[in-house]
Structure 1
Amino acid sequence: MITPCPAITPEDVAVPWTLPFRPSRRSLLAGAAGAAGAALLTGCSGGSSPEEEAGISLERRMREAAVRDSERLLERYDATRAAHPALAERLAPLRAAVAAHAAALSPTAAGSPTPSPAAPSGAVEAAAPTASAEPVPPKPAEALTALAAAERKLSETRISDLDGAPGELARLLASVAACGAVHAHLLTSNPGAAS
């Protein structure tokens, strides 16, 4: 046999009424101060946003590094031309393009780079070449191959830099990388193709 449930009266279920929890003004102010402190510790500073500051300095650092790379490549061109004067005419337009790249990539470039003028056909610049990191191979064909390898390596570096570059700089790096790949091809093709 089933026994019926005993009747429950409101007095049996009554829970004493208490005030809901209300934080004090002091705890609210302490929480707000803690949140403000956390925001400051995450990198907020000055009057501009962290994204703006990081974007400007990142682009400047990337441009400065790209200019240094172009200047090292110019040194290689100069060393190769000094070691093999017969290659001066063939290398002159490529060297001028690399100089224009350095000017365009400069952080101070105002949109219209001023490339160094190309040497006239057959002329060798009077300036003494700077010491290159790697010696120029003794044979002209090997020197061209080494210069092409330097162009190809720099082109690959510029392509890998595209990932973190801001929009306009990324487009410029892509263009300069493509030009470097063409230079590498021209340096290893027959002499008539490079003129």
Structure 2
Amino acid sequence: MPWTLPSRLSRRSLLAGAAGAAGAALLTGCSDDDGSSDTGTGVPLERRMREKAVRDSGRLLERYDATAVAHPALAERLAPLRAAVAAHTGALASADAATGKPPRSASPSSPAASAPAGAPAVSGEPVPPKPEEALTALADAERSLAEARTIALAGAPGELARLLASVAACGAVHAYLLTSPQGDKP
């Protein structure tokens, strides 16, 4: 009998995937690479990766803000997820501050300006006019970013790899919560 993908991921399979990503991060974290390798830009690999992660999180924050403004009824539901994304942005940016170099990041606490449904978020992606579609679009953005961060683990220095694994796992859970019927309940 051929194996087929389930139409909806179970919580158990989602957590198993997150655990696998965390395990990969731990294995990656055992390398001798200190993240100081330079390429033609002269900027250390770890710093470039962190700056990209901060920019990506900033764009995701913009999507959360635009969705909450376009669909005020969703704002309360989105608030804890948005707060987690803002915390991720701060965690990713804080290591740059520790090196004495200011991070290039979007402000994690600045909400988007008022925009009607269907208007583009600051990142350029339009907010769908129906709340269900807006949640699905936000879940797709979370899922896509989680997948990109999981892929980036392979080239990330140890501590950054662990942080990216944690943030990717959280993003996968956010995607699940945004599209699950349980996400409608407090």
What TM-score range do you get, normalising by the shorter chain? 0.5 to 0.7
Matched, 1:70 2:57: yes
5+ long unaligned stretches in structure 2:
1-33, 99-106, 115-120
Which residue of the other structure, out of 97, 100, 104, is the alignment partner of 2:87? 100
In structure 2, the residue matched to 1:122 is none
CA distance in 2, matches of 1:65, 1:126: 21
Q: Which runs of 4+ in 1 moved over 4 A?
A: 191-194
TM-score where L is the length of structure 1: 0.62
CA change 1:74–1:127 in 2 (3 A) is closer
Relative contact order, CA 8 A, sep 6+: which one is greater?
2
CA-based RMSD = 2.6
Pairing 1:15-34 to 2, within 5 Å after superposition: none
In structure 2, the residue matched to 1:128 is 113
TM-score where L is the length of structure 2: 0.65
In structure 2, the residue matched to 1:54 is 37
CA distance in 2, matches of 1:85, 1:161: 34
- Give the CA deviation at 1:189: 1.1
CA distance in 1, matches of 2:108, 2:80: 11
CA distance in 2, matches of 1:126, 1:132: 13
Q: Is the 8 A contact 2:140 2:175 kept in 1?
A: yes
Which residue of the other structure, out of 72, 76, 83, is the alignment partner of 2:70? 83
Q: Is the 8 A contact 1:79 1:132 kept in 2?
A: no
In structure 1, the residue matched to 2:5 is none
In structure 1, the residue matched to 2:179 is 188
Q: Deviations over 1:55-99 (max 9, x none)?
A: 670000000000000000000000000100000000000000000
Q: Which has the larger radius of gyration?
A: 1
Q: Aligned pairs, how many?
A: 135
5+ long unaligned stretches in structure 1:
1-50, 118-124
